[in-house]
Amino acid sequence: MTTVRIKGPMFDGAAEDAVRALLENVTADAAKQGAAIVKTKAAKFNRSGRGGSGAAAAAVSCHSEGTTAVIKGDSSKGRVWWPWLEGDSKRNASTRFKGYHAFRLASGIMRKRIRAQAEKLLPEYIDRMGG
């Protein structure tokens, strides 16, 4: 009779946990950086010539849970209306203002950065996987 015992990170769940932790870390980092990009762009909103109040930047928030992250611009009547500022509102179609597209621009920037960020963190997690 032969007994085979298989052990190690690939078999005890440690490798899977390390991959999940890497993805969660990268997701949270990306959300924070993406929100910072949107806030920076929002702080520069001044096409009207009246000067920015900072309300648009203050209304940007991010939340990440697991491998899902949400960056949003809160809207409040009379203060900030992010769909209009972004250019996604029905009102944009009837005015010359087509939006600042801060979220869309931040998304493009983060798409370019995310792989490099993951590759930078990867060696730490490979060690956890037993590699």
pLDDT in tens, 78-107: 777 899 889 998 889 898 888 899 999 999
Residue 95 lies in a domain: yes
Return the DSSP state at 68: E
Residue given tokens 């809160």 in the structure block: 74
- Quick one: pLDDT at residue 51? 52
- Quick one: pLDDT at residue 24? 95
Residue 66 lies in a domain: yes
Residue 86 lies in a domain: yes
Residue 3 lies in a domain: no
Q: H or E segment at 41?
A: helix 14-43
Domain residues for the domain of 106 are: 11-128
Residue 29 lies in a domain: yes
CB 108 within 8 A of CB 34: no
- Quick one: pLDDT at residue 52? 67
Question: What is the number of domains present in the chain?
Answer: 1
Does residue 82 sit in helix, strand or coil? helix
Q: What is this structure's pTM?
A: 0.83
Residue 6 lies in a domain: no
Residue 85 lies in a domain: yes
